[in-house]
Structure 1
Amino acid sequence: MQVVSISISEKKGMKKTPINKAKLIEGFGIEGDAHGGKWHRQVSLLAEESINKMKELGLDVDYGSFAENITTRGIELNQLPIGTLLKIGEDVLLSVSQIGKECHTRCAIYHQAGDCVMPREGIFAYVLKGGEIKAGDKIEIVENYTAAVLTVSDKGSRGERVDTAGPKIQTLLASLGITTVESTIVPDDYEDIQNVLKDWIEDEINLIITTGGTGISPRDITPEATLPLIDKQIPGIMEAIRYKTGKITSRAYLTRGVAGVSKKSLIINLPGSEKAVTESIEVISEFLIHGLDTLLGKSKDCGRK
């Protein structure tokens, strides 16, 4: 698996131009590229194999034609879970943040061929560690912490509401270098919630996050389904979330989520809205990795940062 080409553009919406080497900046993207910024699509990647599909349709396309920053060879990019860590060369570390994209306006390539591979097979990533890369550099998949995301929603499970909180959690975890390997939606049902959690605990998934069912309505039972599975409660996690998000909205004090350890898994209940999970993960991001390190025996001294 390797880098075939690197491309940048000064403006968005333009075909990118290949360059010999590039400097990646942590938390931003590629120096000099218009798509760099403090967001989740800092760097785009597309496989050479995908570009060849379009060439076979008779299109005159090359590296950068699909506005990808990094063209790869020998890796099925669109099969990578969100949060997969990719090491490029000696120093650069990327975390996959999005698979594919929705095209609101059809590009010139689509109008020529009636198809475009970037929306289906291109991916995007955060830059977790910067450095210099060049064509020919080796790409490695790096082992990291795993996560599973459970959305608890009657309407969501019936397809009557689009779940935005679950996917948002996956993207936010990716920014911390945590790979989401499982995700699903269940109704507000005690047995359904427990069955999924038990399976993930048995699979030794490092971090399990639920979203939804933490309020005080009659159907909100996520904490009740979670508590019997927890070996050690960690009340400080939810105390920190309620304290800090309570400064944004006093309604945060009505959430009843719990957190704790079950065997080798850390379980955290979060509220059901995209806004709430965003604010909550911002709070726990300060200590989440250290907590996982401690749980799995990678850190022994909790008194130091």
Structure 2
Amino acid sequence: MGEIRALCISEKRGTEKQATDRAFFITEYGIDGDAHAGDWHRQVSLLGLGEIEDFRARGADVAFGAFGENVVAEGFRFKELPVGTRLRVGQVFLEITQIGKKCHSHCEIFHRVGDCIMPREGVFARILHGGWVTVGDTLEITTEKIPLDAAVITASDKGSRGEREDASGAAIREILTAEGYDVAGYSIVPDEREELEREMTLWSDRGVGLILTTGGTGFSVRDVTPEATRAVIDREAPGIAEAMRALSMKVTPRAMLSRATAGLRKRSLIVNLPGSEKAVRECLGFILPQLQHGIEILRGDAGECAR
């Protein structure tokens, strides 16, 4: 177990990073505002405080971030950890993907002092579950699964204006809590594609495993939740909505009129639910027991779906 001693970001690669007191780690992307963030395996770089202090003891006056590192932690010699090691800082989970690196073009610190310890002492990681990290937070090695969490988004013009009680959103939160999920977010937005897309993206970037929407899946011209969902997902998961429609047809033939969809964005599963409390309870009763396994596969915490 160790402690975060510095967080550093830069706008350009190959330059020294600047220290900041707090940083937002975006799931499967990197640190918000950092030049090295992206869809690759070296989203975050880490150095041990001891290695930096040893370098300073040789007479070099270097600040945190000088070697291009994002995270400086006390209590770790990172290069001794094997690839695949998981690290946890609060709700943020990292997985080490690379030990050291080859320098193809020397960085700013090398040109200034003639050496850089990042290639031989640093490690790189990807972000499995995002969130805020603050200097002083505890960093630890973990073998735990990422805790189940969820966000609920209600699409309702009247609800967003306070003219209608959000019974379906309340029912979803009640059921999720009873099933052991941490409901990390809840919002009511009007039936506007841009706002729905923004909310889904926000919670996906934070690494929330399950994002449930309610409302906006019918035939009304204002019903745009499926369109917003398709705009943000990377892959579709059609079987979930198909199962809801098939099982709901046993309750009412009007279930065939649902346009609900489901899909995956980064490490989040997004599912459209109906807008009524009764239908929400029915659909979650059908699908929720199976969704946990899907989320664990998505996060790398479980094997294949087939038995």
Normalised by the shorter chain, which TM-score bucket?
A: 0.5 to 0.7
Q: Secondary structure at the match of 2:278?
A: helix
TM-score (norm 2): 0.52
Query: Is the Cα contact below 8 Å between 1:144 and 1:177 reproduced in 2?
Result: no
Query: Is the Cα contact below 8 Å between 1:230 and 1:260 reproduced in 2?
Result: yes
Superposed counterparts of 1:30-49, under 5 Å: none
- How many residue pairs match? The answer is 163
Please list the CA deviations of residues 40-71 of structure 1 after superposition, one character each: whole Å capped at 9, or x if unmatched.
xxxxxxxxxxxxxxxxxxxxxxxxxxxxxxxx
Q: Which has the larger radius of gyration?
A: 2
Q: Secondary structure at the match of 2:186?
A: strand
Is 1:272 the counterpart of 2:278? The answer is no
Pairwise CA distance, 1:175: 2.5
Distance 1:168 1:274 in 2: 6
- The partner residue of 1:238 within 232, 236, 241 is 241
TM-score (norm 1): 0.52
- Structure 1 counterpart of 2:220, one-letter code: S
Distance 1:301 1:203 in 2: 25
Query: Is the Cα contact below 8 Å between 1:211 and 1:270 reproduced in 2?
Result: yes
Is 1:206 the counterpart of 2:226? The answer is no
Superposed counterparts of 1:80-99, under 5 Å: none
- The partner residue of 2:163 within 160, 163, 169 is 160
Distance 1:296 1:198 in 2: 17
Is 1:259 the counterpart of 2:262? The answer is yes
- Structure 2 counterpart of 1:271, one-letter code: P
Is 1:192 the counterpart of 2:195? The answer is yes
**Structure 1 segments (4+ residues) deviating >3 Å:** none
Is 1:226 the counterpart of 2:226? The answer is no
Query: Is the Cα contact below 8 Å between 1:264 and 1:295 reproduced in 2?
Result: yes
Query: Is the Cα contact below 8 Å between 1:234 and 1:259 reproduced in 2?
Result: yes
- Structure 1 counterpart of 2:298, one-letter code: L
Pairwise CA distance, 1:143: 6.8
Pairwise CA distance, 1:278: 0.3
Gap runs ≥5 in structure 2: 1-144
Query: Is the Cα contact below 8 Å between 1:149 and 1:210 reproduced in 2?
Result: yes
Distance 1:302 1:202 in 2: 25
Is 1:292 the counterpart of 2:298? The answer is no
Residue 303 (structure 1) aligns with: 306
Query: Is the Cα contact below 8 Å between 2:226 and 2:259 reproduced in 1?
Result: yes
Distance 2:288 2:225 in 1: 22
Q: Secondary structure at the match of 2:289?
A: coil
Q: Secondary structure at the match of 1:286?
A: helix
Gap runs ≥5 in structure 1: 1-141
Query: Is the Cα contact below 8 Å between 2:235 and 2:264 reproduced in 1?
Result: yes
- The partner residue of 2:178 within 175, 179, 186 is 175
Residue 144 (structure 1) aligns with: 147
